Amino acid sequence: MKRIIILSVGTATPHVIKALSEAFDINQDLLFKILYNAPAVFLDNAEEELAKKAFLILTELGLEVLVQNTDETAPLPTEALDVSVYIKDPVKLSTVNKQLSEFLGCNESESLQLLLNEPSVVLGGVSMATAESLQKRIDAEVIASNPKLDLYTIEFTASAEADRQKLINLIRSQEIAIPGGETRWVRNLTYEQLNQFLTRYRSQHEMKIYNQSYSRFRILLEDFNVESAAQTDFLVNEIGMPQEALAEIHANLPLLLDESVNHGELEQKLALYKQVGLRCSDEQIPFGKYSLAVSNITDSEKFREILDKFFKDVTYDQSSGTWKTPLPLASILSRLLEKQLEILGCEIEYEY
């Protein structure tokens, strides 16, 4: 007797579920769980002929499949993960959206809403194999998170320091160490610690909660030694700075080294930069929509052409020399607009 195991969704799409349901008389909801929580047992104690038939059908549909004897050990259930997508190159938004809609089996307007709703969690309760399959099929960074095992950051956003301090003290009362003088950020909270705080403070007004797996950071170069061969060689060969411009770069610090890295990359890169001797700082990028302030607008005609793709009835007073987005945009759209305007030579500042 044979056991058929689905190892991964592979190149298949959700549309295969209907075909499999009809071919093997299996409930579609159960099939969805099997496919997206792979590795999972598809058929057990199957006759050899049925196993061969199932293997052929499943592989033709794009699934990764294993056939084993029933006396062999079946794979254990995997942990349920949430999966987020981050598009590093905003120009690829349209391409990534099409790829995601095909993977999810939904229309492109639905997948676009998932991408615009930062931190863009596109799947919930699926396996690592599914996250890995998505990564192979999409031109974006895929991040898998187990919400109950991850760490969290709370940003308190009240304008009054006294109001923020009250909430900080609530967390301190849970015997959680917080650096003295800190009134805005509390990092590295466990799932249990976060929920304990939210149980005591039921309102989430004037705070933002970040799953640290999804958090994004900028890394700023604060200082380096222009006389250090190790540091200058690193900046030239690893970062890509021009050797002849190092003195000028040093005179105009701080400088953006990394535009957007996830939490895991942040820790690795900061450790590397510190090892080399560079002095760096990090800055967390808030979730949500941003406004852009644009200056150095030299080609007003092309400037308007770009804005017309993002806003209706754009008004721009050319004599002012500056322009601000009339409405905040989702992060990916802000970055897409920024990239197009920078090609024109415009200077951009973010307003969160």
User: Residue 69: CB partners within 8 Å, gap ≥ 6?
Assistant: 1, 2, 3
pLDDT at 135: 97
Mean pLDDT calculated for residue range 138-146: 96
pLDDT at 69: 94
Mean pLDDT calculated for residue range 90-96: 96
More confident residue, 351 or 252: 252
pLDDT at 8: 93
Mean pLDDT calculated for residue range 51-68: 92
Q: Dihedrals φ, ψ of 240, to 5°?
A: 95, 20
Percent of the chain clearing pLDDT 90 (strictly above): 70
Q: Per-residue pLDDT tens for 191-206?
A: 999 999 998 887 778 8
pLDDT at 76: 82
Mean pLDDT calculated for residue range 12-22: 88
pLDDT at 313: 79
Decide if pLDDT at 286 tops 90: no
Decide if pLDDT at 179 tops 90: no
User: Residue 294: CB partners within 8 Å, gap ≥ 6?
Assistant: 322, 323, 324, 341, 346, 347, 348
pLDDT at 225: 96
pLDDT at 287: 86
- On whether the CB atoms of residues 334 and 288 are closer than 8 A, the answer is no
pLDDT at 25: 87
Decide if pLDDT at 318 tops 80: no
How many residues does this entry show for the chain? 352
pLDDT at 210: 92
pLDDT at 180: 83
Q: Per-residue pLDDT tens for 290-300?
A: 899 999 999 88
CB-facing half-sphere around the CA of 182: CA atoms within 13 A:
15
Mean pLDDT calculated for residue range 326-349: 93
Query: Is residue 252 very low, low, confident or very high in pLDDT (cuts 50, 70, 90)?
Result: very high
pLDDT at 295: 93
Mean pLDDT calculated for residue range 165-176: 88
Residue in the structure block whose two tokens are 């322009």: 323
Mean pLDDT of the chain, nearest integer: 92
User: Residue 100: CB partners within 8 Å, gap ≥ 6?
Assistant: 85, 111, 114, 115, 122, 138
